[in-house]
Every structure is written in structure tokens, then in C-alpha cells.
Amino acid sequence: MSNPLLQFIIGVSLLLTGRKLFWLFVGVLGFLSGILFAAQFFSAESHLVILAIGVLAGLVGAVLAIFLQQLIVLFVGLLAGGHLTIRLLSLFDWHSDHYLWVLFLLGGVLGAVLALMLLDWALIILSSSIGAILVSQALFPDRSVAVLSFVILAIAGILIQSRLSLRPLART
């Protein structure tokens, strides 16, 4: 995503409300994953084609999340784990076009297992982590500062979302 302001806004939204707005989380993951893979397979195409593929993937993900929430959780874990793996590797300046899909798949399997085992916590942790890395990369071009801010923001997002999502209902 080349627009830092948009990346920042999306990152903050996920950081604070990723569990509550599950459809937004799924839509963002679809968009980011669509752009990532479209850029890999359609690199000769225009940026508009790649953006259109990302938007379409995001819309499909958001609609599916609304109607097929239980089934989509597994898929979200896969996408979030894979996308987080690729973004974290980029923070450490590790690039390998040949093994990108393998690393995405490995991270995705871990994310899917986490989503199945601990649904609410998985959504909180994954959405906070994706939001934190988007914000960190949008604000800090220096890798060491980005890594530190990622850790701090991810922890803050997890704490905020867990307080908002998992607190008991008020008695009336």
C-alpha cells in the first residue's frame, strides 16, 4: 500500500476495533492479500488493475464475513498469519520472491490454527498485529523504530481490544 495516510487510518481502525468490526478486518485482509498476490502474478499490468483486484478481494471478504462468519474465521486466520509473516520479514529487510508463497502459507497455517483454537483472542491478536504493523510502516521509515513501535502498538491494541471485547455485560 503506497499511501501512508490511508495505511495509517486502516491500521488504527484495525488496532482499535479489529475484533468488533470483524467484517472490516476481513475486508482489509482481502484487500492487502489481493494487492500482494496481484503484484506478484500481474506485475506487467497497470497499478489500476492491481488495485482493482485488491478492492474486489476486500469486498468479497467483507461480504463473506457478514454471512459466513464461522467459516471465514479459518480463512481469516490463514490470511492474517500469512500477511503478518510477509510484513514482519520485510521489517527485517528479508526478501525472497521465490519463497514468498511458502512463507505466506506457513504463517497462514499458524494463523489458522490460532484462529481455530482461540477465536476471540486470535482475532484480537491478529487484528492488533496487522493494525500495528500498518501504522508502524506508515509512520516510521527507519526499521528499528518501526519494529519497536510495532511491538508497543500491538501490545496496546491487544489491551484495548481485550478490554472492549471481552468485558462482561453490565448488569441492569
Distance CA 112, CA 106 (A): 10
Q: Do 116 and 78 meet the contact criterion of CB atoms below 8 Å apart? A: no
Q: Stretch 145-168: mean pLDDT, rounded? A: 86
If pLDDT is split at 50, 70 and 90, which confidence band does 144 have?
Answer: confident
Question: pLDDT higher for 98 or 128?
Answer: 128
The tally of domains found in the chain comes to 1
pTM of the full predicted structure? 0.66
The verdict on residue 85 lying in a domain is yes
Q: 144 CB contacts (<8 Å, ≥6 apart)?
A: none
The verdict on residue 50 lying in a domain is yes
pLDDT in tens, 6-60: 888 888 888 888 777 777 888 888 888 888 888 888 777 778 888 888 888 888 8
Question: Considering the chain, what is the average pLDDT of its residues?
Answer: 82
The verdict on residue 169 lying in a domain is no
The verdict on residue 72 lying in a domain is yes
The verdict on residue 43 lying in a domain is yes
The verdict on residue 172 lying in a domain is no
Residue 169 above 70 pLDDT? no
**Cell numbers of 32, please?**
492487502
Residue 141 above 80 pLDDT? yes
Residue 72 above 90 pLDDT? no
Can you give the residue range of the structural domain that contains 146? 4-163
